[in-house]
Amino acid sequence: SGLLTGKNILVMGVANDRSIAWAIAQSLAAQGAKLAFTYESERVEERVRKLASTIEGSVILPCNVTVDEEIDSLAAQLKEQFGVLHGFVHSIAFAKTEELEGMYVKTSRAGFALAHDISSYSLTAVAQRVYPLMTEGGSILTMTYLGAERALTNYNVMGVAKAALEASVRYLANDLGQYNIRVNGISAGPIRTLAAKGISGFNTILRTIEEKAPLRRTTETAEVGDTAMFLMSPLSRGITGEIIHVDNGYHIVG
């Protein structure tokens, strides 16, 4: 038995085995959690099914977070399969590649709206439909980045969307605390994943981290996974509305 035995947790944002959400799933499963995974489209369905099949008892459901009806049916499926939900991990972001380079000032209305819809509003859209299933209390977690706090080269509209996401963490925490539901974020150091491929100059960023981060190394997904496990577990019961940096200390320097 583990810290999460008997807990049912929704994990959104597994795209492949390098996804942060996948490392989080490993850490949660190691503590006995029962997991539900979602996939955005048929493009990733097979990959998600294959990965999920390696974790016993996993549930796999479709959900593109830009479509309200898909989130409605996700919540209905979760109610049917789990009854009670204890956790929700949101590890989803998207912006058009052309909005992730050059000057932020050039951001289009459509690019701004899309980045905010998928990367920021989706946390609230899912939370509003799944919190009623958290009848025994719960923990909600999202993934953010330093670009929310600072103007970082090329991060641009994603940084603005992450700032809104971090503010959402605080507002959701304030709303849902009365139901013993906690809401937190992890601000992870840069990790080479599919999403990171969209960001220009990523290799340079990783080299800077190795030189300047207090721990002199880049972030590994397992480090994020273990902090996520802590935030899903009763060990973190006094923490809500918080953004925890899992970045080997980089945000305190440079």
**Residues designated catalytic:** 145, 155
Identity at 42, one-letter amino acid code: E
CA distances from 245 to 48, 213, 216 (A): 27, 12, 15
Tell me whether residue 100 or residue 134 sits nearer to ligand 0WD (CB atom): 100
Q: Is 1 annotated as a binding residue?
A: no
* Contacts to ligand 0WD from residues 55-84, by CB under 6 A: 64-66
* CA-wise closest residue to 104 among 151, 57, 146: 151
Q: Is 140 annotated as a binding residue?
A: no
- Answer for which of 93, 127, 141, 148 binds ligand 0WD (CB under 6 A) is 93
Nearest 5 degrees, angle CA 202-CA 206-CA 207?
115
Nearer to ligand 0WD, 162 or 182 (CB): 162
Nearest to 55 by CA among 78, 81, 28, 79: 28
Segment interacting with ligand 0WD, rule: CB under 6 A, options 107-115, 171-179, 194-202, 206-214: 194-202
Q: How big is the site for ligand 0WD, counted in residues (CB under 6 A)?
A: 25
Please pick, from the candidates 152, 196, 239, 243, the single residue that binds ligand 0WD as defined by CB under 6 A.
196
Would you say 208 is a known binding-site residue? no
3-state secondary structure of 168: helix
The C-alpha angle with vertex 126 and arms to 236 and 82, in degrees rounded to 5, equals: 70
Which DSSP letter does residue 137 get?
Answer: B
Please report where in the chains the tokens 């981060």 appear, as a residue: 213
- Residue bearing tokens 């603005």: 160
**Least distance from C-beta 187 to ligand 0WD, angstroms?**
7
- How far, in Å, CA of 147 to CA of 149, rounded? 5
Q: Does 209 interact with ligand 0WD (rule: CB under 6 A)?
A: no
Binding mask 5-44 for ligand 0WD (x = CB under 6 A): --------x-x---xxx------------------x---x
User: By the criterion CB under 6 A, which residues form the site for ligand 0WD?
Assistant: 13, 15, 19-21, 40, 44, 64-66, 91-94, 118, 143-145, 188, 190-191, 193-196
